[in-house]
Amino acid sequence: MSTTTRQRPAAIILTPSAEQRIADLMARAPEGSIGVKLSTPRRGCSGLAYSVDYVTEADPFDEKIATPGGDFYVDGGSVLYLIGSTMDWVEDDFSAGFVFQNPNAKGACGCGESFTV
């Protein structure tokens, strides 16, 4: 009997506008940056927050997602909170930022800065 390996889907889905924003960020990234990383540090009144930062070295526990504009990393310790999420970049007349559709979030604070799982 042989074993069949299938490609594992990415922990998070990036919309085309999120991928474009990553490309824009990488185009003006500080020297030494190898990509952009999403993590969920403990912060805010609900417990966890989304944080997107430049990364200068790969962590073997992070999930790496190749995008047309550069590599996107998901923090290894945050993956379980983000599986099945969609990350979008939204701009309007008054604000711009990444927006997350996270099926694992059970609640959020009133200001929208943090979430619970």
Extents of the domains making up the chain: 13-116
Burial 41-52 (b: 16+ CB within 10 A, else e): eeebebbbbbeb
- Phi, psi (rounded to 5 degrees) for 19: -60, -40
What is residue 114's predicted lDDT score, i.e. its pLDDT?
A: 57
For 79-106, write each residue's pLDDT tens digit. 988 999 999 999 999 889 898 888 877 7
Q: What angle do CA 111, 113, 117 make, to 5 degrees?
A: 110
Q: What is the mean pLDDT of residues 67-81?
A: 92
Task: Give the predicted TM-score (pTM) of the model.
Answer: 0.83
| Long-range contact set of residues 33-37: C-beta below 8 Å, sequence gap at least 24 | 34/58, 34/71, 35/64, 35/70, 35/71, 35/72, 35/73, 36/70, 36/71, 36/72, 36/73, 37/62, 37/72, 37/73, 37/74, 37/75
The answer on pLDDT for 111 being more than 60 is no
For 5-39, write each residue's pLDDT tens digit. 666 667 899 999 999 999 999 999 999 999 999 99
47 HSE (CA, 13 A, CB side): 9
> Under CATH, which architecture does the 13-116 domain have?
Sandwich (2.60)
What is residue 112's predicted lDDT score, i.e. its pLDDT?
A: 55
